Each structure stands twice: as C-alpha cells, then as structure tokens.
Structure 1
Amino acid sequence: MKLSEIKEILTTLDNVEFKLENGTTVPEHFHVTEIGQINKKFIDCGGVIREERIINFQLWNANDFDHRLKPSKLLNIIKLSEDKLGIEEGEVEVEYQEGTIGKYDLDFDGSQFILKNKFTACLAEDSCGIPHEKQKIKLSTLGSGCCTPNSGCC
C-alpha cells in the first residue's frame, strides 16, 4: 500500500486499527514510534545490483493502556516526516513485534489496516540455478497402451 493511500484512508476513519492476517489484532493502545524512509542497495545472487526504497512505520505497545492513536494524529506524524525528512511517495512496510520484529506489507479491509506477511524470494532465478518445479502427472492419465508389454515403448 502506498503512503498516499494510507493518508486518504485516514481522513475517513474515526479510529486507527491494525490486525495481522491471521486475525490477531494489534492492541488498541499501540504507538507509531517511527516513520522513516529506508533505502536499500544490494546485489542479488545473480550479480545484479538493485536498489529499493520503502516507507517504514514501526508499531509498538507500551504499558499506557489508555493511549489511542487517532487518525488526525497519525496524519500529523506522516506530514512531519514528509516535511522534516523529505519522505516521498512510496510503498509502506510496517514493523511490529510479536516474538521478534516482523516486517509486513499493508492492506486495508474497509475498517482496519491489515499487516500482511512478507516472504523472501530469489530475484535471479534464471541465473542462480534454481531448478524449475517439475510438473506432476498421474500415470493413469497417460492413456492405455502407452507402456504395456508389446507396445514398443521399451
């Protein structure tokens, strides 16, 4: 989800709520402790140099159970990050700690922001030797007479 989409959604909400894909809700007393831009320059296993830029939100739970982040407050934090850090439009990634810090993509279901699981992948499958998965077929679908005695196939 892009930063502009989040800002647009926030103008329509009374409360800011997050939940994980598995249905677990982020406690309503969460804080957004950081908004930043992360620039990553790396090389993939095929030798291609790549660059990635994401906008990062960090969610944190504290012991202040009465805390509630309102949409207008989050919009103000986003505006401050744009003004002071020069953050531009980009995809948003959310950091949230359960057992360890996880990184999530973001979606919206009409009332809550959804923390979507991220997955690793090879970016250079053609050059790093990952075998393509063989298509599985049932021998029974090959038809009769294919490899029977006297069929001439062996």
Structure 2
Amino acid sequence: MKISEMKQHLAGLDAVNFRLPSGDYLPSHFHVTEVGLVSKHFIDCGGTERQETVANFQLWEAGDYDHRLAPQKFLHILNLSEKILGSEDLDIEVEYQQATIGKFGLAFDGKDFILTAKQTACLAQDACGIPTELQALPQLQVAGCAPGGGCC
C-alpha cells in the first residue's frame, strides 16, 4: 500500500484497526510510535546494485487501555511526517513487536488495515543456479514448523 492510499482509507474511517496475518487484531490501544524513511542500498547475490526506499510505521502497545488512535489523528501524524518522507508516494512497511520485531506489508479490506506477511527472495536466481522448478516454492507457515515436519 502507498501512503496516498492509506490517507484515502483513513479519511473514510470511524476507527483504525490493524489485523495480523493470523486474523488476530492488534489491541485497540496501539500507538504509532514512529513514521520514518528507510533506505536500503545493497548488492544482490548476482552482483547487481539495488536501492529500495519505504515509509516505515512502527506500531506499539502499552498498558494505557483507554488510548484509541482516531483516523484524523493518524492523518495528522502522516502529514507531520511529510518533512521526513518527502512528497514521494512510497510503499508502506509496518513494524510490530511479537516474539521479535515483525516486518509486514500493508493492505486494506474496506474496513481494516491488514498486516501482510513479507517474504525474502533471491533477486538474482539466474546467477545462483537455482533450477526453475525450485524458484517458486510454496510459502512456509513458520508458526506450525516442527522438526521433521518438512518446513525447516
């Protein structure tokens, strides 16, 4: 999801809800603790230099159960962040603390924001010698992974 899309969705909402890939909702008292610009400059395993830049939101929850972030307040935070993010319509990446800090993509289902699972990938599969039939392996379900289960 792009920043402009999130702003459009927020403008039409009465409440802001985030749902994890598991279907569980983040507690309604979550905070947006950071909105930042994350740039990655790297070389893939095939030797190609690459750059990626995303808008990064960090979501966090505390014990203040009466807190509820209104859509208008979230829009205000996004508008304040323009001095950091600039005017480019960036993709959004979301960080949320679980067993470790999880990084998620973002989607919208018409009512709720959905944190989507992100996957790693080889960006130079032709240079790595990976056979074509192995390049599109099914997504792993890490939560159900067990020794001898064939997923690790």
Give the TM-score, by structure 2 length.
Answer: 0.85
Aligned-residue offset at 1:86: 4.2
Q: Counterpart of 1:51?
A: 51
Tell me if 1:78 matches 2:78: yes
Q: For structure 2, which runs of at least 5 residues remain unmatched after alignment?
A: 135-152
Q: In structure 2, how many angstroms separate the alpha carbons of the residues matched to 1:55 and 1:86? A: 7
| Cα distance change on mapping 1:24 and 1:77 into 2, 3 Å | same
Q: For structure 1, which runs of at least 5 residues remain unmatched after alignment?
A: 135-154
Specify the code of the residue in structure 1 equivalent to 2:98: E
Which stretches of structure 1, 4 residues or more, deviate above 3 A after TM superposition? none
Q: In structure 1, how many angstroms separate the alpha carbons of the residues matched to 2:62 and 2:20? A: 18
Q: In structure 2, how many angstroms separate the alpha carbons of the residues matched to 1:129 and 1:102? A: 30
Q: Counterpart of 2:65?
A: 65
RMSD (CA atoms): 1.0
Q: In structure 2, how many angstroms separate the alpha carbons of the residues matched to 1:31 and 1:12? A: 20
Q: State how 1:64-143 maps to structure 2 within 5 Å.
A: 64-82=64-82, 84-87=83-86, 88-133=88-133
Q: In structure 2, how many angstroms separate the alpha carbons of the residues matched to 1:133 and 1:8? A: 40
Q: In structure 1, how many angstroms separate the alpha carbons of the residues matched to 2:51 and 2:85? A: 18
Aligned-residue offset at 1:77: 0.5
Richer in helix (by share): 2
Fraction of identical pairs, as percent? 58
Deviation readout 1:69-115 (Å, 9 max, x if unpaired): 00000000000000x31433110000001111000000001110000
Q: In structure 1, how many angstroms separate the alpha carbons of the residues matched to 2:98 and 2:85? A: 30
Aligned-residue offset at 1:129: 1.5
Q: Counterpart of 2:142?
A: none
Q: In structure 1, how many angstroms separate the alpha carbons of the residues matched to 2:16 and 2:106? A: 13
Specify the code of the residue in structure 2 equivalent to 1:120: T
Aligned-residue offset at 1:132: 2.2
Q: In structure 1, how many angstroms separate the alpha carbons of the residues matched to 2:84 and 2:98? A: 28
